[in-house]
Amino acid sequence: MRLLRPLRPRAAAELPPSLIEIYVGGGCHLCEEALAVLERVQHRIPFRLVTHSVESRPEWERAHRGELPVVFIDGKKAFKFRIDPAELERRLRRRRG
């Protein structure tokens, strides 16, 4: 008979990095600023970044055109228009434990 170890919560180091998705539009200066903020924060806290152009899908344009850029962290809307770098870092660190 083999004894099993009790399950333990996953350590923060074992968690996969957060997924950040940003919806952007062409000629959007706020989008460029938001991408720069994400790049700076990503140097300190690793995360996966996916950029979506709303022009590539009509449903994205309908959903997000009036609030670009829009940022989702792990599927939850986190920011629109501007990203507060301190708040972004706080949210990412909170997830990591």
CATH number of the domain at 44, please.
Answer: 3.40.30.10
Is 41 among the domain residues? yes
**In the predicted model, what is the mean pLDDT of residues 71-75?**
96
**In the predicted model, what is the mean pLDDT of residues 6-26?**
77
pLDDT of residue 35: 98
**In the predicted model, what is the mean pLDDT of residues 1-29?**
75
The confidence band for 9, taking pLDDT boundaries of 50, 70 and 90, is low
Is 39 among the domain residues? yes
Q: Residue 50's domain spans which residues? A: 17-84
Is 77 among the domain residues? yes
Segment holding 22, helix H or strand E? strand 18-24
Structurally, the chain folds into a number of domains equal to 1
pLDDT tens profile 27-64: 999 999 999 999 999 999 999 999 999 999 999 999 99
Q: Of the candidates 33, 24, 42, 53, which has an alpha carbon nearest to the alpha carbon of residue 88?
A: 42
Distance CA 70, CA 91 (A): 16
Is 24 among the domain residues? yes
Is 40 among the domain residues? yes
pLDDT tens profile 83-93: 999 999 999 99
Is 7 among the domain residues? no
34 CB burial (10 A radius; 0-12, 13-18, 19+) = buried
